[in-house]
Structure 1
Amino acid sequence: MAVASRLDTGRAFAKVLLPTLAKGVIVRRRSAAAMAEKVRADAVAVATVKRFHERYGPEPLRLRVTGRSIALLLDPVDVARLLAESPEPFALATREKKAALAHFQPHGALISTGPERAHRRAVNEDVLRPGKIDVVGIVADEADLLLRHARSVGELTWDAFAQAWWRAARRIVLGSFARQDGELTDLLQELRGDANWAYLHPRREALRRRFEQRLRGHLERGEPGSLASLAPADELLDQAPHWLFAFDAGGIATMRALAIGGAGEAGIWESVRLWPTTPVILRESTERTRWHGTWLPAGTTFVVFLPYFHRDPDRLSYADAYAPENWPAPSDPGLVPFSGGPGICPGRDLVLVAGSTMLDALRDHLEVPTLRQPLPVTLNHFGLTFVTRSND
C-alpha cells in the first residue's frame, strides 16, 4: 500500500480536505460557497484525487500525518467494502464526527456505538419510514404558498425557498404548531455553526439546553400527523436535531435539482450525485484491518471524497451530465450519495419524497437557467434564482 509523499499529503489537505471544511460540513457558509464556485474548488479537488490514483494506484493511500493513521480511498470497490462493514469494524462515530455533532446532538445515533447505537438506529429507521405521515400533503401546501410568493415578486430565490422548506420540515418533524417557530431552527443553525469547528470551538451548553427545551415542548405535544407523534418524546429528543439538520441538505439538493431541470425522485438522486451534500464520508476502524495485503492499525481514519467517485469522467461516461436513469440502483459501487451499507441515511426515502414533491410542484412554473455542459463540479445554491414563467 502506497504512502503519500509529504508534498502530496499537503496537497490532499490544501486542495481536497480544507476547502471542503471551509464551505462548512455541518452548515454551509455563504461566502465560502460563493468563493468555492468562483475558483472551481471541487473540480480542483477531483483532479487532485485523480492524480493520486494515477500516481499511486487504486489501493488506499496513506497520508503522512504525525500521530494519526489516515487512508484516502481511491477505488469504488474499497468504498463498497468500507460501507458494508460498518459499524464494525469501521465505526461511523469518528473522533471528528463526535466532536462536531456533540455541539447539538451529543447522543445521536450517528455518533453512538454498541447497543445504544443499535437502539437509536432502530428508532430512526422506524419513525422515518415514508408513509407514516402525509409528507406529500405538507410539502405541497408549502410549495403552493411559495409559488404565490414567487409570482408576486417575479422570482424564486434561495432565501425564499429556504423559509418555505424549513416551514415544511418543522411541520413534518414536529407538527403544524411548530410551523412558525423559526427561532427553533435559528438556534439549531447557530449550534451547527459551532459544530463546523468541531473540537476547535467550545461547546455552548446553555444555548444547547435552550434549544433542547424548545424542541422538547414540540415533541411532548406529539401532534398527530408529525414524526413527533410516532414515539415518546424522550426517545426522539436526541434524534430529532439530526432530522432537522438533514432536511437542510434536502433543501439544498432540491434547489440544485431545479437548476438542472430535474424531475421526481430521480432528479433529487442526481442532484446529490452531481453535488454531494455530504462530500466526505468518514469511518474509523475499531481494530486492525487488512487492505490489499497491508495491515492498517486500529483507529485508522478512512476518508471517502465523494465528488471524485461521482464525477470521474474516466470511470463514468455521464460524470458531468444529468443522468437520472441511474437511479435508484446504480451499477457503480462508488455512487453513494446517501452513504451505504448499515450506515446508510435512515431518512433517505423520506427526504426523497419531500424533495421530489417540492421539485415537481415548482419546476413547471419557473424558467430554469440552462447550465453549460459539462455541468459544473461546484454549484453554489445560495446564488440560484429562478424567474417565474410569464404565463403563470
Structure 2
Amino acid sequence: MAVASRLDTGLAFTNVLLPTLAKGVIVRRSGVTALAEKVQADALAVATVKRFRARYGPEPLRLRVTGRSIALVLDASDAARLLADSPEPFRLDTVEKRAALDHFQPHGVLISSGEERAARRRFNERVLHPDKIDAEGIVRDEVDLLLRHARSTGALTWDAFARAWWRAARRIVLGSGARDDHEVTDLLRQLRGNANWAYLHPKRKRLRERFEARLREHVERGEAGSIAGLGDPDEVVGQAPHWLFAFDAAGIVTMRALAIGGEGHAGIWESARLWPTTPVILRESTEPTDWHGTWLPAGTTFIVFAPYFHRDRDRLPYADEYAPRIWPLPAEPGIVPFSGGPGACPGRDLVLVAGGTALEVLRPHLEVPVLRAPLPATLNHFGLSFVTRK
C-alpha cells in the first residue's frame, strides 16, 4: 500500500479536505460556498483524487499525518466495503464527527456506539417512515403558499424556499404547533455554526440547554401527525436535532434538483449524486484491518470523498449530466448519495417523499431547468433563482 509524499498529503488537504470544511460541513457558509462555485472547487478536488489514483494505484492511500493513521479511499469496491462493514469494524462515530455533532446532538445516533447506537438506530428506522406521517400533505401545504409568494414577486429565491421548507420541516418533526417557531431552528443553527469548528470551538452549554428546553416543549405535546408523536419524549429529544439538521440538507438537495429540472424521487437522488451534501464520509477502524495484503492499525481514519466516486468522467459517462435512468440501483457501488450499508440514512425515504413532492408542485410553475450539461462540479444553492411562469 502506497504512502503519499508530503507534497501530495498537502494537496489532499488543500485541494480536497480544507475546501470542504471551509464551505461548512454542519451548516453551509454562504460566502465561502459562492466563492467555491466561482472557482469550481470540487472540480479541482476530483481531479486531485484522480491524479492520486493514477500515481499510486487503486488501494487506499495513506496520508503522512504525524500521530494519526489516515487513508484516502481510491476504489469504489473499498468504499463499499467500508460502508457495508459498519459499525464493526468500521465505526461511524469518528473522532472528528463526535467533536462536531456533540455541540448540538450529544445523544444522536451518528455519534453513538455499541448497544446504545443499535437501540437509537432502531428507533430512527421505526419513526422515519413517510407512511407514519403525512409528509406529502404538509409539504404541499407549504409549497402552495410559497408559490403564491413567488408569483407575486415573479421569482422563487433560495431565501423564500428555505423559509417555506423550514416551516414544513418543523411541522413534520415537531407538529403544526411548531410551524412558526423560528426560534427553535435559529437556536439550532447557532449551535450548528459552532459545530462547524468541531473541537476548535468551546461548547455553549447554556445555548444548548435553551434549545433543548424549547425543543422539549414541542415534543411533549406529542402532536398526532408528527414524528414527535411517534415515540417517547426523551428518545425524540435526543434524535430530533439530527432530524432537523438533515432537513436542511434535504432542502438544499431539493433546490438544486429544481435547477436541473429534476422530477420525483430520481430528481432528488440525482441532485444528491451530483452535489453530495455529505461530500466526505468518514469511518474509523476498531481493530487492525487487512487491505490488499497491508494491515492498517486500529484507529485508522478512512476518508471516502463522494464527489470523486460520483463525478469521475473517466468511469461514468453520465458524470456531469442529469441521469435519472440510473436509479434506484446504480451499477456503480461508489455512488452513495445517502451513504450505504448499516449506516445509510434512515430517513432517506422521508426525504425522497418530501423533496419529490416539492418538485412536483413547483416544477410546472417555474422556468426550469436553469442548468444544462455539462453540469458544474460546485453549485451555490444560495444563489439559485427561478422565474415563475405566467
TM-score category, normalised to shorter length: over 0.9
Structure 1 residue matching 2:69: 3-state secondary structure: strand
CA distance in 2, matches of 1:327, 1:143: 26
State whether residues 260 and 372 of structure 2, in contact with CA within 8 Å, keep that contact through their aligned partners in structure 1: no
Q: Which residue of 2 aligns with 1:238?
A: 238
Q: Which residue of 1 aligns with 2:311?
A: 311
CA distance in 2, matches of 1:81, 1:30: 34
Q: How far 1:45 sits from its partner (Å)? A: 0.2
* Coordinate RMSD, CA, aligned: 0.6
Q: How far 1:370 sits from its partner (Å)? A: 3.2
Q: Which residue of 2 aligns with 1:175?
A: 175
> Is 1:268 matched up with 2:268?
yes
Q: Which residue of 1 aligns with 2:165?
A: 165
**Normalising by structure 2, what TM-score?**
0.99
Q: Which residue of 1 aligns with 2:14?
A: 14
Structure 2 residue matching 1:295: 3-state secondary structure: strand
CA distance in 1, matches of 2:370, 2:381: 15
Q: Which residue of 2 aligns with 1:144?
A: 144
Q: Which residue of 2 aligns with 1:194?
A: 194
> Is 1:345 matched up with 2:326?
no
Identical-pair percentage: 77
CA distance in 2, matches of 1:374, 1:367: 19
Q: Which residue of 1 aligns with 2:98?
A: 98
CA distance in 2, matches of 1:302, 1:238: 27
CA distance in 1, matches of 2:117, 2:278: 21
Structure 1 residue matching 2:74: 3-state secondary structure: coil
Q: How far 1:212 sits from its partner (Å)? A: 0.2
Counterpart residue identity of residue 317, structure 1: P
Alignment of 1:365-380 (within 5 A): 365-380=365-380
Structure 2 residue matching 1:313: 3-state secondary structure: coil
Q: How far 1:271 sits from its partner (Å)? A: 0.1
CA distance in 2, matches of 1:35, 1:107: 34
Structure 2 residue matching 1:221: 3-state secondary structure: coil
Alignment of 1:122-133 (within 5 A): 122-133=122-133
Q: How far 1:130 sits from its partner (Å)? A: 1.9
Q: Which residue of 2 aligns with 1:330?
A: 330
For residues 165-199 of structure 1, give each alpha carbon's deviation from its aligned partner in whole angstroms, at most 9, with x where no partner exists.
Answer: 00000000000000000010000000000000000
CA distance in 2, matches of 1:131, 1:125: 12
Q: Which residue of 2 aligns with 1:65?
A: 65
Q: How far 1:66 sits from its partner (Å)? A: 0.1
Q: Which runs of 4+ in 1 moved over 4 A?
A: none
Structure 2 residue matching 1:238: 3-state secondary structure: helix
State whether residues 322 and 373 of structure 2, in contact with CA within 8 Å, keep that contact through their aligned partners in structure 1: no
Q: Which residue of 2 aligns with 1:30?
A: 30
Structure 2 residue matching 1:282: 3-state secondary structure: strand
For residues 228-264 of structure 1, give each alpha carbon's deviation from its aligned partner in whole angstroms, at most 9, with x where no partner exists.
Answer: 1100101111100000000000000000000000000
Q: How far 1:81 sits from its partner (Å)? A: 0.3
CA distance in 2, matches of 1:167, 1:249: 15
Counterpart residue identity of residue 64, structure 1: R
> Is 1:121 matched up with 2:159?
no
Unaligned runs of 5+ in 2: none
Q: How far 1:372 sits from its partner (Å)? A: 4.0
Q: Which residue of 2 aligns with 1:88?
A: 88
CA distance in 2, matches of 1:348, 1:242: 13
Counterpart residue identity of residue 112, structure 1: S
Counterpart residue identity of residue 379, structure 1: L
For residues 98-132 of structure 1, give each alpha carbon's deviation from its aligned partner in whole angstroms, at most 9, with x where no partner exists.
Answer: 00000000111100000100000000000002200
Unaligned runs of 5+ in 1: none
Q: How far 1:96 sits from its partner (Å)? A: 0.3
